Structure formats: C-alpha cells, structure tokens
C-alpha cells in the first residue's frame, strides 16, 4: 500500500470521524503495518501438496470418500466445483496468474468458466493459449457488469457448486482441495475461507483476514465472508446476482440465501490483488460499493420484516444497525446484549468472552477497533460480562437463578468474579433460543 493511498484514506477517515477517532485509528494502523511485516504466506509445502494430489488421484480412480477419509463420509461424492470469472479487459498477466493458479490446484474436479465482456480480444487471446477442456471461455455480446457477467457464466456451469473468483485475483494451490474436503465433511450449502491481500506483482502477501465462523450479527455489520465464496449451484441459480447491487452483489446474494448450512475453512485460500483499480487497493475510492451494501441491507430488513435503520459506521464498508425501538423489540432471537468493561485508562479489561472463557479484545483502548474492526462492531458472542449487560424480560427469572439477585438495568454488581456465572447465564439462555450479542457502544468503567 502506497504512502499516498494511506494518506488519502487517513484524510477521508478524519473527514468522516474527527481528529480523536483518527488518532486511535492511525495508531492501530501503524501497529497493523508492523504486524504485517511478520506475516508471510506460504503454501502448505511440497509434501502436503503431493499428499493432496495423491488423495485426489485415488478418488478420481474410483475410491470412495468413505474409503479414503473414513466411514463418516459414507454416501458422499466428490463435488465438481465451477469457478465463475466475470472478465472485462483484464490485464494479461493477471489472467495468466489466475488460470495458472487454477491449473495448479491439488484437486482436479473443477471447471473454469470465463465470461468475457471485453471489447478487445485481450482475455480471449490469453485463454486460447490453454488446451484444457476444463477451461471454458464465453465471449459475451456486451459488458453487462459484474452481476450480469457472473450470471452468464453460471448458466454454463455444470458443477455441483459454484465458486466466485475475481479476474485479477488468484487461488492458493490447496484451495479447491480444502473446499472439497469442507463440502464432504459438512454437505454445506455455502462455504467460505480466510484470505489475504497481495501486491500488484503477486509476490508479497499482507493483511491476512482470519475470519470467525459464521456470525450472523457480524455479517449484518459487514460482508466479512467475501473471498473465497462457494455455493451450491442450484441455490445460486435460484437467487442469482442482482445488478442493482453491483459493488456489493455478493453481499446481497448472501443476505438472501439461507444461513443454516454454512461452512468456514479457517485457512488462507484466496489472494486478493491490490492495484490502482482494485477495491483491495483503496476501498475509499469506491464508495459506491459501501452504498450498495447499505441498500442491500435495507432491502434485507424489509424482506424479513425487521424494523431497523442502516447507517454507515466509522469504518468504510461497515454498517451500524439501529433497531426500532430496540433490538429486543425488533428481534425475538436476541436475549442478551453486552459491551465493554474498561478501567480508568479506558483499556478493555472484560466484556466479551470466547469459548475458552478468555476476554476478547483485552488491553485494547475502548476507541480502538481491533482486527477487522471486530472490537467496534456488533456480533454474536459466546458470553458477555454481567457488569455491562442488558437482557430481555423473559430472562429475568433465569438471571435471578444464576446470579442470586434481581436484574436491574444499568446497576453494576459488586466488583467480584462473576466469570463462570456469566458464561452459564448466556449458554443457558442460548438453550432457550436466545442469542447473546456484543454491543460495542455499551461501556462500563470500573
């Protein structure tokens, strides 16, 4: 990322959020850049990749997934994955890199469908150099934009699943093996992976995005799923992309899709290239994408009959959802919300707990947003601290049973260790059908 781009982003951020917020954001950004110097993407290694290729050959030659992976894979079949690439005047070196990254996959049951909306022959000239029946090129009569071009590619797809690959990005060599394994394990309808960014020349990798498993409220705040996105072909053809949401077309797609069978592969499988024309290079230069995401969210809430206003958060591409009159009234699935517990120096000392009972975001300043802005973004939580908690009335009885006192909003319990009770309360509420949500705007100072 260039100094000029960083400066532009800082100026834009300051214009939206003011000097104080910008100070903490800039400090975090410097810390992230330092962390980036310690991030080095490397593929799994020759031994692992060779093993994956050998496993695929066994499957291709007739071995069943149950024979290769174990009896829990009984009645499962190797999925064929259709990679959809909407192309338009793609730089030849980017297209070559994309195609080579697909050919080099350790899992070979795929097809690459390139729907080309170019006026020139630049994309066709590149694809014509490959003699592989799995690579299918379709010249479109016109450039219909990313949604129409992707839909055109999907019509040609014959795979069990479709995967979305931008024309200037590329895959890790184990991407489709890990995707296929995730599908075999879960029979999911939707799958996504972690990702990182890479330099224009594709040689330097940075900003790894280590995503959480599917998290409904975090997803409503930001399309963190992004790349690599894989979906059952039948589901995609039933929904398709809508061109009025170009720029956030995948977000709109996922908002309309069912969220019951979602698999997260917690490995970097996708490299998002940064260059002058990419969103990865300068998100602030494409505010239309953030606006399209906001419109998609507004349409979603209208469709599911939830009363909510959507506004842009202080982070580009993130959204604040303002429920009317409050989250408990608007959503019957939410039973508990909890926020930050900070000390006198405004450092987070408690608030949200993970599955191991550890405090998430411990040590951050309350104005810092954390990796992928998760400390500053509403999301589903395993548990939250009772000292900064609100609950719906249906849980008053459970609260009294667990904590031994009546619930009073905004009344802080004595400064004691309620860690175990907090986790018990939130998990018992979950068994009753009520989610716990992290609400970063709530702050208790101790």
State the Cα–Cα distance between residues 205 and 209, nearest whole angstrom: 11
pLDDT at position 413 is: 56
Query: Residue 280 above 90 pLDDT?
Result: no
Give every CB contact of residue 35 below 8 A, 6+ residues apart in sequence: none
Which of the four pLDDT bands, split at 50, 70 and 90, describes residue 21?
low
Give every CB contact of residue 62 below 8 A, 6+ residues apart in sequence: none
pLDDT digits (tens, 9 = 90+) for 124-172: 999 999 999 999 999 999 999 999 999 999 999 999 999 999 999 999 9
Coil vs helix vs strand at 142 = coil
Which of the four pLDDT bands, split at 50, 70 and 90, describes residue 1?
very low
Return the exposure string of 178-208: e unless at least 16 CB atoms fall within 10 Å of the residue's CB, then b. Answer: bbbbbbbeeebbbbbbbbbbbebebeebbbb
Query: Residue 282 above 90 pLDDT?
Result: no
pLDDT digits (tens, 9 = 90+) for 229-269: 999 999 999 999 999 999 999 999 999 999 989 999 999 99
Supply the mean pLDDT for the chain.
91
pLDDT digits (tens, 9 = 90+) for 98-115: 999 999 999 999 999 999
Of 394, 375, 446, 391, which Cα lies nearest the Cα of 417? 446
CA dihedral for 137, 142, 145, 148, sign (positive or negative):
negative
Report how far apart, in Å, the C-alpha atoms of 251 and of each of 96, 155, 293, 295 are: 28, 20, 7, 10
- 388: tokens are 């900064």
Coil vs helix vs strand at 438 = strand
Give every CB contact of residue 156 below 8 A, 6+ residues apart in sequence: 113, 115, 136, 138
Query: Residue 307 above 70 pLDDT?
Result: yes
Give every CB contact of residue 419 below 8 A, 6+ residues apart in sequence: 353, 357
């Amino acid at each position: 990322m260039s100094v000029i781009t960083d400066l532009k982003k800082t100026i834009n951020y300051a214009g939206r959020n003011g000097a104080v917020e910008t100070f903490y954001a800039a400090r975090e950004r410097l810390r992230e850049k330092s962390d980036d110097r310690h991030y080095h993407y490397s593929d799994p290694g020759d031994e692992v990749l060779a093993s994956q290729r050998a496993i695929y050959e066994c499957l291709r030659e007739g071995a069943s997934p149950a024979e290769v992976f174990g009896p829990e894979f009984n009645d499962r079949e190797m999925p064929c994955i259709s990679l959809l690439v909407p192309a338009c005047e793609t730089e030849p070196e980017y297209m070559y890199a994309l195609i080579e990254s697909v050919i080099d996959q350790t899992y070979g049951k795929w097809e690459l469908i390139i729907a080309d909306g170019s006026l020139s022959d630049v994309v066709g000239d590149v694809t014509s150099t490959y003699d592989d029946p799995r690579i299918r090129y379709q010249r479109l009569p016109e450039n219909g934009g990313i949604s129409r071009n992707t839909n055109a590619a999907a019509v040609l797809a014959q795979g069990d699943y479709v995967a979305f690959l931008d024309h200037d990005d590329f895959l890790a060599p184990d991407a489709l093996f890990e995707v296929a394994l995730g599908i075999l394990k879960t029979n999911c309808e939707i799958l996504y992976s972690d990702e990182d960014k890479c330099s224009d020349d594709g040689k330097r990798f940075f900003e790894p995005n280590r995503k959480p498993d599917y998290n409904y409220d975090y997803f409503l705040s930001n399309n963190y799923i992004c790349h690599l996105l894989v979906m059952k072909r039948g589901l995609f053809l039933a929904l398709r992309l809508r061109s009025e949401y170009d720029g956030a077309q995948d977000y709109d797609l996922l908002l309309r899709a069912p969220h019951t069978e979602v698999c997260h592969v917690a490995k970097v499988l996708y490299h998002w290239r940064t260059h002058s024309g990419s969103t990865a290079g300068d998100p602030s230069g494409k505010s239309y994408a953030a606006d399209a995401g906001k419109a998609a969210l507004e349409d979603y809430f209208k469709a599911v009959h939830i009363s909510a206003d959507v506004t842009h958060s202080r982070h580009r591409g993130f959204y604040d959802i303002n429920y009317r009159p409050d989250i408990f009234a608007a959503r019957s699935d939410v039973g508990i919300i909890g926020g930050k517990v900070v000390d006198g120096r405004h450092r987070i000392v408690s608030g949200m707990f993970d599955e191991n009972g550890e405090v998430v975001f411990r040590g951050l300043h309350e104005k810092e947003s954390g990796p992928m802005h998760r400390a500053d973004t509403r999301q589903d939580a395993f548990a939250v601290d009772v000292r900064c908690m609100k609950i719906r009335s249906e849980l008053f009885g459970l609260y009294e049973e667990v904590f031994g006192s009546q619930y009073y909003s905004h009344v802080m319990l004595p400064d004691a260790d309620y860690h175990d009770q907090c986790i018990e309360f939130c998990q018992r509420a979950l068994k009753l059908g009520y989610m716990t949500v992290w609400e970063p705007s709530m702050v208790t100072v101790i």
